[in-house]
Amino acid sequence: MIFGIYIFLVGLCIGSFLNVCIYRIPEDISIVAPRSRCGSCETVLKPLDLIPLLSYAFLGGKCRYCGERISLRYPLVELVTGLLFLLAYLQFGMTITMVGSMCFIALLITVFFIDFDHMIIPNELVALGIVIGLAINVYLWIGGQYTMFFLSSKSSGIIGALVGSGILLLISIISSLIYGGQSAIGMGDVKLFAVIGLFLGWELTLLTLWLSFIIGGIIGVVLIFVFKMDRKAAIPFGPFIVTAAFVSMFVGSKLIFMLFGI
Ligand SMILES: [Zn+2]
């Protein structure tokens, strides 16, 4: 259990780094070079101000220097990352699957918030995901084991990438033909599914696709009928895909068993 706590703390620190990535990648600012500053008064933050969760709690959610409120988003991203890392450790143990799932979690949390804020999924993140995904697949081939999540065969990840992004590309093309140039699904979503395919294999990728439409549909209905959102307003699809991918990764095998009895 001591190790679980350690993993959770590592997750908090990674989450703190993800906050930097979420803020800086769309702005094209280096994620390493400049020190973190207060978004309001631009004071360079001291190490004490950068302790995940705790500094937010101690400072009462306000900047130490100018008193400006700090977004609750920062501790939330840290906490979610810490909890998902802990869950990955508890579920997969100290395996390559755990390492892979942590890369996947960190990448997708970043995608979730950047897409939420800017309606884009940066190509750098997709490229990084494909490189790590391919590396894990190759590692598993060499080791002769494909037990990562649901990678059921040697080519499960590759098939997943092709099938996942292929289906979404098809939907994108068809919908843009129907609606005259305006596709319901962005190319970023199509590319993101190549990453998901590599990590989860084709079975869980299909489940992710299905779940993301269900989650997106439910949230869409709630937004339109409960919050009276404009029917034509564009909402980013990435957050639904990310949520569906996390559900698939942790409970997908059980879900498939429950749904199809295999
Ligand atoms: Zn400040």
* Residue 46, in any domain of the structure: yes
* Residue 50, in any domain of the structure: yes
* Residue 101, in any domain of the structure: no
Instruction: Give the Å distances, CA to CA, from 253 to 31, 38, 206, 246, 259.
Output: 36, 43, 12, 12, 10
Q: Alpha helix locations (H) across the chain? A: 2-24, 54-58, 73-92, 96-118, 123-143, 156-178, 187-225, 238-260
Q: Are residues 80 and 137 in the same domain?
A: no
Q: How far is the CA of 32 from the centre of ligand 1 (A)?
A: 20
Range of the domain at 76: 1-94
Q: How far is the CA of 107 from the centre of ligand 1 (A)?
A: 28
End position of a domain, from candidates 44, 79, 94: 94
* Residue 139, in any domain of the structure: yes
* Residue 115, in any domain of the structure: no
Q: Report yes or no on whether pTM surpasses 0.75.
A: yes
**What CA–CA distance (Å, rounded) separates 211 from 222?**
17
Q: Are residues 78 and 141 in the same domain?
A: no
* Residue 250, in any domain of the structure: yes
The tens digit of pLDDT for each residue in 82-118 reads 999 999 999 989 888 899 999 999 999 999 999 999 9
Q: How far is the CA of 204 from the centre of ligand 1 (A)?
A: 44
User: What is the total count of domains within the chain?
Assistant: 2
Q: Are residues 262 and 183 in the same domain?
A: yes
Three-state SS for 118? helix
The tens digit of pLDDT for each residue in 27-82 reads 888 887 778 888 888 889 888 888 889 999 988 899 999 999 989 999 999 999 99
pLDDT of residue 140: 82
